Amino acid sequence: MEVTRRQALTAAAGAAVGAAGAVGGVRLKEHLDESTPLPFYGSPVSAVRPDRTPPSAASASVVWGGAGGAGGAGGAGGAGGAGGGADQRRVALTFDDGPHPDWTPRVLAALAAQDVPATFFCLGRNVRDHGGLHRESVGRHELANHTFEHPDLGRLDWSQCRDEIARTTRLMEDTYGATPTLFRPPYGHLGGASLLAAAEAGLTTVLWSAQAREDLVSGRPDGIVDDIASQVRPGSIVLMHDTGSQDRLVTIDRLPAIIRRLRDDGYGFVTVSDLLAGTRASATTPSHG
């Protein structure tokens, strides 16, 4: 009987499947390692523990915004999350990389002057050197984990990500007497390993849905107010910095104006945790209607 080309290809495919089943787990792993550009286990993109033991977390949570704004994936407070809604025009201001002895006090003063809470994603090394700057922030603002040395976690394996996160959490506990519940990866870079490490540490990974884009307003610094306002929606998480390159001072210098503009647009201010929980904005928000 003549064998058609289709029959021959089907038979070859079946033989390949049978062979794959015969090689067993070890040979299959070797095959995968050889045919993929990164190691099958233990690489920065792998969300599986290197020793293949079960993770201590049942799920991971990543959010870009709160209810009514840009949604999150797999976590509370994403689109359709608990509480809140588009009728609550709430926004969370966040500041990365501090505390810094010159910048952070300026940010705290601007927030205090208008009774605005914020969330600070702190670097462990800066908490070690300047942690006292936030001693009065506990209870007023939210302090969160931003790693110790600000590495690109997209390039680190699970154990390195775990150590960066754990080292910072321990230091913040010792310094402020409170355990952070939120985590932001430097540069917004996520790999499977960093997502797993954050989840196992019990942290919600927080990115952002609006940001200070100082590079777009070079030569016209007052434009930062309009640029941020144009990005904000109900539930937005706004990324800013309380240390860094000098161009970021454009935002720090105009923080009072940014707050006033968002209030004029009908927004109230909450911490990220309150945003995700659907907590109403502070009573200082002007009434509209």
196-214 residues labelled b (16+ CB within 10 A) or e (exposed): bbbbbbebbbbbbbbbbeb
Q: Which listed residue (141, 241, 242, 274) is catalytic?
A: 241
**Amino acid at position 276, single letter:** L
**Amino acid at position 166, single letter:** A
- Tokens 């590079």 -> residue: 215
Ordered alpha helix ranges (H), the chain: 5-35, 103-113, 124-130, 158-176, 192-200, 223-231, 249-253, 255-264, 272-277
241 is a catalytic site residue: yes
96 is a catalytic site residue: yes
Other Cβ atoms less than 10 A from the Cβ of 35: the count is 8
Q: Which listed residue (96, 157, 227, 274) is catalytic?
A: 96
Other Cβ atoms less than 10 A from the Cβ of 50: the count is 14
Instruction: Report, as residue numbers or ranges, the catalytic residues.
Output: 96, 241
